[in-house]
Amino acid sequence: MTRWIIFGIIYIFFTIYGFQAVKTATKQQWIYYLYVAVALLVIGNFIYQFAITSEGRVLNPTKSYAFGFLLAFMSFNLVIVPIMLGEDIIRGALGVYDKLVTRESFYLPSRRKFISQIALGLAAIPFTSLLYGMYKGKYNFRVLNYTLHFEDLPDAFDGYRITQLSDIHSGSFDNKKKIEYAIDLVNEQASDVILFTGDMVNNKSSEMEPWRDTFKRLKAKDGKFSVLGNHDYGDYVDWPTAEAKAQNLEDLKTLQKDIGFDLLLNDSRFLEKDGQRLALVGVENWGKGGFKKAGDLQKAKEKITPEDFKILMSHDPSHWEAEVVPDDYHYHLTLSGHTHGMQFGIEIPGWIKWSPVKWRYKQWAGIYEEVGQYINVNRGFGYLGYPGRVGIWPEITVIELKKGKAPQNA
C-alpha cells in the first residue's frame, strides 16, 4: 500500500507540472480538459488493471498496454518537470531579491510562455517515440548478419549458417499477420539450422497455443533446437499447486516438440556433415541477480570432447563470463538473449550502441569476444512489460561460420 501512495503522490506532482506547462503555452481551454482527461484515464486504467486479482507477476497484453500508456505519459511529464521546476526556482529567487532590494511586497513573476513551449516540445519526443514503439516498433523486425572466423572450424562447416531466435514471449503478441511475416523472414534466410535461446512464453504454456501452427512453419535442413529461459518455468505465476506448475512446464516441453524444436535440457547434440561434426550444447536457464540457476554446464558437456567445435545455447548472458569463459572446455560460440536490449535505446551501426540495460549487463546486445570465445546476445523476437520497442528493434540473427582467420580490415 505504501508504494501505491508514494507512486500516487509522484504522479499527481508530475501531472500538476505538466498541466501548468500546457496552461501557460496555450489559452485553448479544450486542451486543458483533454490533458486532465488523459491523465485520469491513464492512471485509472493502470490502477484498474493492476489492482484487480492477478496471478503473481503475470503481464497480459491488457496490463502491458496500461503500463505502456502510463510510461509514455510519465515520460512526457518527466521532461517537463525539471524545466518548469527550474523556472519556478528562478522565479522564486527573483521574487525574494525584489522583496529584499525594493522592500516592497513579495512579487512572483509569471511563467514565460516560450519556456513552457520549449518544455512541451522536448517532452513530445519521448512521448511520441514510446507511442510509436507500441504501435509499430515492436514488430519492426530486423535481420542482423554476422560472419565469425575460426581457425579450427571443421572444413565441412565452412560457410555454415545459423539463424538464432530468442525471447519470443508469445503471451504478448497481438498481431497474427506481423508474426507470420516474421516467420517468413526467418525462412527466407535459408540457414542450415535454427537455434532458439529461450523464453517462448511470458508465464504459461497456453500462451503459445494460438501460435503453434505459425511457428511450426519454421524450416531448417539440419533442424531446430532450443533451450529454456527464465520465463518458461512459470516462476512468476501464483499456481494453485506445485503439481500445476510442474504440469505447465511439461506442457511447454511437449509444445516445443510439437512445433519441431529439439529441446536441450543440460544436454548436447552433434550436427554432422561429410564425416565431420559440430557439437551443439544447451543448458537450462542460469542467471545472476536472482534468476533461476537450473543450468548445469558440466552435465551438458558430458557427451562431448574438448576437441569438438562447440556452440553453446544459454539464455542469460551473465552465464558466459561467470561459468562459460572460465570453463576448461573452449566454447567457440555462445548464443544468448534475455536482455531484450531493454527494448529501448539508440543504435547507429558503426557510431553508437546504447541502452540503459548496459548498466546491468556487460554483454547486452550483439557480438562480444573474450580469450578467443564469442557470444552473441540476441535483442529478442518479442517484447515484455512495455508493449513496444524504441531504437532496439526485434531481431533475427544470422551467423555465418567461416574457416580461417578474420580479414585484417574486418
Instruction: Quickly state the pLDDT bin for 103 (edges 50, 70, 90).
Output: low
Identify the sign of the CA torsion 378, 381, 393, 61: negative
pLDDT tens digit sequence for 89-101: 888 777 777 767 7
Lookup: cell for 141: 523486425
pLDDT tens digit sequence for 169-184: 999 999 999 999 999 9
Range 275-292 average pLDDT: 96
Strand partners, 301: none
Q: Are residues 217 and 329 in the same domain?
A: yes
Instruction: Quickly state the pLDDT bin for 55 (edges 50, 70, 90).
Output: low
Number of structural domains the chain divides into: 2
Q: Are residues 256 and 301 in the same domain?
A: yes
Q: Are residues 336 and 220 in the same domain?
A: yes
pLDDT tens digit sequence for 58-95: 778 889 999 999 999 999 999 999 998 888 888 877 77
Q: Are residues 318 and 339 in the same domain?
A: yes
Q: Are residues 299 and 317 in the same domain?
A: yes
pLDDT tens digit sequence for 207-260: 999 999 999 999 999 999 999 999 999 999 999 999 999 999 999 999 999 999
pLDDT higher than 60, residue 410:
no
Last-in-domain residue among 106, 135, 164: 135
Q: Are residues 215 and 355 in the same domain?
A: yes
pLDDT at 210: 96
Q: Are residues 348 and 379 in the same domain?
A: yes
User: Has residue 297 been placed in a domain?
Assistant: yes
Look up the CATH number of the domain holding residue 199. 3.60.21.10
- In the chain, the amino acid numbered 3 is R
Last-in-domain residue among 116, 135, 154: 135
The parent domain of residue 127 ranges over: 2-135
